[in-house]
Amino acid sequence: MKLQQAIENAHVAVVPYMMAGDGGLDQLESQMQLLSDAGATAIEIGIPFSDPVADGPVIQKAGSRALEANISLEQILNQLATSKIDIPLVVMSYFNPIYHLGVEKFIELAQKTPIKGLIIPDLPYEHRDLVQPYLENTDIALIPLISLTSPKERIELIAKQAQGFIYAVTVNGTTGERAVFGDTIDETLTFLKQVSPVPVLAGFGISNLDHVARFANVCDGVIVGSKVVQLLHEGKHDELSEFITGASQLTR
């Protein structure tokens, strides 16, 4: 199933983020299956990197654990090529690992996996042509991140070019759980929904069902990172399953 179709078909789209290789690559399939069985719409797969500027402490530590185990992007892609997961995967990688592997080789390997989306947080919109041409004849969408503090003109410009879905960054700064969100988020998300041809998912700081319900009122769903990574690391699989299931069953 295509990424955009999966999100549009979901009641509330819930996309959990996990760090590939945290706990070992041999655990990757079972971790993804756990999230899929709990009701995830798609799964965001993080690629470990030594300078993760957008990541908070929980995800940074997960990436460090994977790097200490010498997990590489190519190893992750080869592992994903064996996956039986039947929901779309979205890779979140900084540009350096992709550049080091080779953009063309990366896309070639990704096409052999369930990957249907690609997020590169340190690739500015103005430099998307470093990757986009290689995706033209694939079913992999380059997912834009849009800061909700951006001017409306820029939000509209990026939104109109979007594929798959838009990742709406709900906070300034890095990933990690938050207690509160800015006062203008709802207004900006409403505007983004109006101008976007694809679904809009909110991410950064979302860590409980109240957060999910809040954002489900103004966009198509959420991306949940640090909470998922921490619960996987602690082996709290039942708690994680309950959260994903509860989030996916909320009303909009």
List, in sequence order, every residue forming a beta bridge with 146; answer none if it has no partner: 168
The residue from 44, 74, 186, 242 that is catalytic is 44
For 29-53, the DSSP string reads HHHHHHHHHHT-S-EEEE---S--T
Say whether 245 sits in a helix, a strand or coil.
helix
Residue type, 189: L
Is residue 22 annotated as part of the catalytic site, yes or no?
no
Distance CA(42)–CA(63), nearest Å, equals 20
Angle, CA 190 vertex, CA 181 and CA 167 arms, to 5°: 65
Angle, CA 132 vertex, CA 155 and CA 126 arms, to 5°: 45
The residue from 8, 22, 37, 55 that is catalytic is 55
Is residue 238 annotated as part of the catalytic site, yes or no?
no
Element (H, E) at 17: strand 13-19
Structural contact between residues 228 and 176, judged by C-beta atoms closer than 8 angstroms: no
What values do phi and psi take at 114, rounded to 5?
Answer: -80, 15
Say whether 174 sits in a helix, a strand or coil.
coil
Cα–Cα distances (Å) from 85 to 42, 63, 77, 156, in that order, read 10, 22, 14, 34
Q: Would you please indicate which residues are annotated as catalytic (active-site) residues?
A: 44, 55
